[in-house]
Amino acid sequence: MSTQLNGGSPRYNPLESMNRRFDAAVEVLGLDKQFANVLRVPDKVVMANIPVTMDDGTIQVFEAYRVIHSDHLGPSKGGIRYSMDVNLDEVKALAAWMTWKCAIVNIPYGGAKGGIKCNPRAMSKGELERLTRAYTVSMKEVFGPESDIPAPDMGTGPQEMAWIVDEYSKIKGQNSWAVVTGKPIVLGGSLGRVEATGRGVMVSTRSALSQNGHKAN
């Protein structure tokens, strides 16, 4: 599914795509429509406008989001992406997909996702640190080891997670290593986390090839 831009060219809408697949799953599983209506929408949407002092002394305001789709199975879990393509529909869709992924593999987490509309490649390390710490402050009532656990996503990595751990720990007045995953090993991160997404794609691809009669080397 897509929406039309002013010039008439189609633009992919991830929320429409998620809802279309969700509707198909509802039919296949025979879910009660009222129950499905509850599952379709996020539990909580948090939006913030974050002012950040840039290296040249100017102040830029960044759009930021955190969507908690579900915490029925446990603390919500999902990455934070930094990209100029970030928008609310995208974050809602990604949060829902996190819910489905956690539920399908039967792990005790719900789904969430976060994002900031920015171009991380055009920002200095200092600017990214100030942005990440300000985002953490804006989400201090959302994040938490027992409530909502962020992780890296497109445009973020162990360094951003380390800044979140440090800022959140300062806010709470105690070390809180468990507030994120994907942090550096020295802060209690997991071996193989950086490669995990790519490895998952490889494993899934090999399985699909095998099921379709192709030999996966």
Instruction: At 92, list the tokens.
Output: 């809602």
Residue 113 is a catalytic residue: yes
Catalytic annotation, pick one of 77, 92, 113, 183 = 113
Residues in the chain: 217
Helix (H) or strand (E) holding 142: none
φ and ψ of 125, to 5 deg? -60, -40
**Spatial CB neighbours of 171, under 8 Å, sequence gap ≥ 6:** 136, 137, 140
Separation CA 170–CA 168 (nearest Å): 5
Active site residues: 113
